[in-house]
Structure 1
Amino acid sequence: MTVTIYHNTKCSTSRAALAVLRDKGVEPVVVEYLKTPPSRADLGRLAKAAGARELLRAKEPLAKELGLTDPKASDTRILDAIAANPVLLNRPIVAGPRGVVAARPPERALEIL
């Protein structure tokens, strides 16, 4: 079973989600998305499973500044903005055999196992 976590080492929620997975015996592929951002195509695949708004870190000031928190903001606009500004990716995003979730709270990571 392949599980991928889009991880920010500075985020306590992201670290907790990684620990939840490891406690269940899952060693995920860890993508430090600020160092190695997902491609626009990868974001599209993640959004297809979870929805673009699930991927957006809406409380990031840049999200509001770019108008992405507006309910009228399109998925395309959101994904393009995340691709251009990886800081806008919600954290952590966990992808596995049963889907994709923003693991907030961290235990949500178990939903995709």
Structure 2
Amino acid sequence: MTLRLHGIPNCDTVKRARAWLTDHGVAHDFIDFKKAGASPTDLRRWAQAVGWEKLLNRQGATWRKLDAATQARVVDAASAEQLMHQQTSVIKRPVVEWPDGAVTVGFSPEAWASRLPG
């Protein structure tokens, strides 16, 4: 399996992550949330792997623009996954599916370097 990086192309963190992968010679597929969306199956799997609280970006502009009632409805994995499916911009980026099956969220050069062979 090739590394799969999910995100939004104009996100600064995604740009840095993609550049880092390229600089380190790591083959990867980029999946654009804006074009491909995020399937309920993927969201469930990612939430199970990292926790829905970590997957949901409550610090971003998209979350802050949501009305209070919409924010208040996000109380568990199911409600978070439903919102993330409808509004992929509230997913913390990047979501990475590593060749070993692990899933990570966010970009950390140190943590990513430790995953590289050799």
- Measured against the shorter chain, the TM-score band is 0.7 to 0.9
Per the alignment, residue 76 of structure 2 pairs with 74
Structure 1: any 5+ residue segments left out of the alignment?
none
The match for 2:102 among 79, 94, 99 is 99
* TM-superposed deviation, 1:16: 0.3
Secondary structure of residue in 1 paired with 2:36: coil
For the 8 Å contact 1:37–1:83, the answer to whether it is kept is yes
Pair 1:108–1:68, CA change in 2 (3 A)? farther
In 2 relative to 1, CA 9–105 (structure 1 residues): closer, same or farther, beyond 3 Å?
A: same
Q: Which runs of 5+ in 2 are unaligned?
A: none
Q: When the two structures are superposed, what TM-score results if normalisation uses the length of structure 2? A: 0.78
Residue-by-residue CA offset, 1:7-56 (whole Å, 9 max, x unaligned): 21111111001111222211211000111111111111111211112211
Q: Distance in 1 between matches of 2:104 and 2:46?
A: 9
Larger Rg: 2
Partner of 1:43: 43
Q: Measure the CA separation in 1 of the matches of 2:55 and 2:49.
A: 10
Q: Which runs of structure 2 are paired with 1:78-93 in the superposition (5 Å)?
A: 78-93=80-95
Tell me if the contact between 1:52 and 1:79 (Cα under 8 Å) persists in the aligned partners.
Answer: yes
Structure 2 counterpart of 1:7, which letter?
G
Give TM-score, length-normalised by structure 1: 0.81
Whole-angstrom distance in 2 between the partners of 1:68 and 1:104: 28
Deviation at 1:79, TM superposition (A): 0.7
Count how many residue pairs are aligned between Structure 1 and Structure 2.
Answer: 111
CA RMSD between the two structures: 2.5
Which of the pair is proportionally richer in helix? 2
Preserved CA contact (<8 Å) 1:98 1:111: no
Q: Distance in 2 between matches of 1:100 and 1:93?
A: 7
Alpha-carbon distance between aligned partners in 2 of 1:69 and 1:103, rounded to the nearest angstrom? 24
Percent identity at matched positions?
A: 24
